[in-house]
Amino acid sequence: MRIALFTETFYPKVDGIVTRLCRTVEQLQRAGDRVLVFSPDYGITEYKGAEVYGVTGYPLPLYPELKLAFPTPSIRRKLEAFNPDLIHVVNPAVLGVGGIYYAKSLKIPLVASYHTHLPKYLQHYGLGMLEPLLWELLKAAHNQAELNLCTSMAMVEELRNHDIERVDLWQRGVDTELFQPHLASREMRDRLSQGNPDSPLLLYVGRLGAEKEIDRIKPVLEAIPHARLALVGDGPTRQQLEQHFAGTPTHFVGYLHGEELASAFASADAFIFPSRTETLGLVLLEAMAAGCPVVAAARGGILDIVTDGVNGYLFDPDDENGAIAATQRLLANQIERQSLRQNARKEAEQWGWQAATAQLRRYYQTILESGSLPLAA
């Protein structure tokens, strides 16, 4: 198959969406497919054998790490030369809307996928009044597609409830070869805890953005004697968070990659994730693959991954003491914590990238063969 992939973000940016797209491109190329990626220009022209066509982009005012790239006539010429069998748009917003337009004008089958819960992000940036309008725009875009994919059943239901049609599940995936429990090390604990490896070590990995509600970890940290917190990642609210956590034993680590990141997960006592806006929460699966027990808000796609008391702990994010109680419970019982680590790893082992991409290829092939797709009830 020849697949044109339109995305509003791509490598070398670091986040869960980019991780999924990179692994998917890699697996598609391994399967013998040809992939052409259209993304804002991040300075690369190739990824794992797939051509990357960078479109000039401009930093998003509220989120400078992201670029807005507007469709140009050169995209049409590039598409016609590539002659794709199918177009897949990821989180259509600006560049992706161009992908939808070209799919329709060139009569190419269209798949769309939903990875970022943008309507719920708005309230964290003071724009909550725009949520109904954004749902209407999303509906208009996604209902152009032959198939809309979500990465959790919670988001499948959410889109269906907002009258988005032809919605189905794209199963989760995680790199279980990279993220492994045996990578735990005292050296990494020492680094993350700033020289206090024997103290309880709480970990957050991900974007430092308002929608992640990282500020809600502070009461958890303060409630646990001698606990240390490591925040791995970066983002637009880092400066505000540094002020918020001033005077606490919090280490802003910055980005970690590859085996260093895997070791960070494996070396922590608990992974704290207060976000209520996750469509899946890939970082949770990475933590679980590394055998790190998770304490997460019982919202959105997280409910597809974490089973309370089995492979992690869930808490009600509307309860001010919920995250504190769940974390204290986790740290209080070493035997139970070890059981959670083992069960977390077992859960993650079910979800390799090869299987997730094989499922995606079946969706593609069914659309190309029949022009329609029988969806699950």
pLDDT, tens only, 62-102: 667 778 899 999 999 999 999 999 999 999 989 999 999 99
Instruction: For residues 156 and 298, state if they share a domain.
Output: no
The count of structural domains within the chain is 2
pLDDT the model gives residue 377: 35
> Within this chain, do residues 167 and 187 fall inside the same structural domain, yes or no?
no
What is the domain extent for residue 100?
A: 2-173+352-370
> Is 269 within the bounds of a domain?
yes
- Give mean pLDDT, residues 195-207: 96
Alpha carbon 97 to its chain centroid, in Å, reads: 21
Q: How much of the chain is helix, strand and coil, in % rounded to 5?
A: 45, 20, 35
Q: Are residues 288 and 325 in the same domain?
A: yes
Q: Residue 87 falls within a domain, yes or no?
A: yes
Look up residue 371 and give its amino acid. Answer: G
**24 and 167 inside one domain:** yes
Q: What is the rounded average pLDDT of the residues 124-139?
A: 79
Same domain assignment for residues 201 and 345: yes
Question: For the domain that residue 48 is a member of, what is the CATH number?
Answer: 3.40.50.2000
Taking alpha carbons only, the member of 213, 199, 60 closest to residue 124 is 213
Measured CA to CA, the distance from residue 216 to residue 317 in angstroms comes to 9
State the alpha helices, DSSP H only, in the chain.
16-30, 73-82, 95-105, 118-121, 131-142, 153-161, 186-192, 218-223, 238-244, 258-267, 282-289, 302-305, 322-332, 334-349, 353-370
Q: What is the pLDDT of residue 374?
A: 47
Reading the block at residue 210, the tokens are 């308002």
pLDDT at 59: 85
Residue at 273 is within a domain: yes
Report the percent of the chain where pLDDT is more than 70. Answer: 95
pLDDT on residue 125: 66
Q: Is residue 32 part of a domain?
A: yes
Contacts of 370 (CB under 8 A, 6+ apart): none
Q: Is residue 376 part of a domain?
A: no
The DSSP call for residue 43 is S
Distance CA 109, CA 7 (A): 17
pLDDT at residue 300 in the model: 85
Residue 216 belongs to some domain of the structure: yes
The two tokens of residue 202 are: 């709480």
Distance of alpha carbon 292 from alpha carbon 285, whole angstroms:
10
- Residue 138, φ and ψ in degrees, nearest 5: -65, -40
Q: What is the mean pLDDT of the chain?
A: 92
Q: Residues 356, 343: one domain? A: no
pLDDT of 188: 98
User: What single string gives the DSSP state of each residue in 69-126?
Assistant: E---HHHHHHHHHH--SEEEEES-SSHHHHHHHHHHHTT--EEEEE-S-HHHHGGGGT
> Do 211 and 114 fall within a single domain?
no
* DSSP category for residue 195: S
Residue 163 predicted with pLDDT over 90: yes
Closest CA to 87 of 3, 148, 143: 3
Mean pLDDT of 306-312: 94
Q: Which tokens in the block code for residue 193? A: 């805890």
Residues 19 and 151 in one domain: yes
Note whether residue 375 is domain-resident: no
Query: Do 254 and 144 belong together in one domain?
Result: no
pLDDT tens digits along 228-251: 999 999 999 999 999 999 999 999
pLDDT in tens, 95-129: 999 999 999 999 999 999 998 767 566 666 676 77
In this structure, are 152 and 253 located in the same domain? no
Q: Is there a domain that residue 377 lies in?
A: no
Q: Same domain for 100 and 187?
A: no
Same domain? 308 vs 185: yes
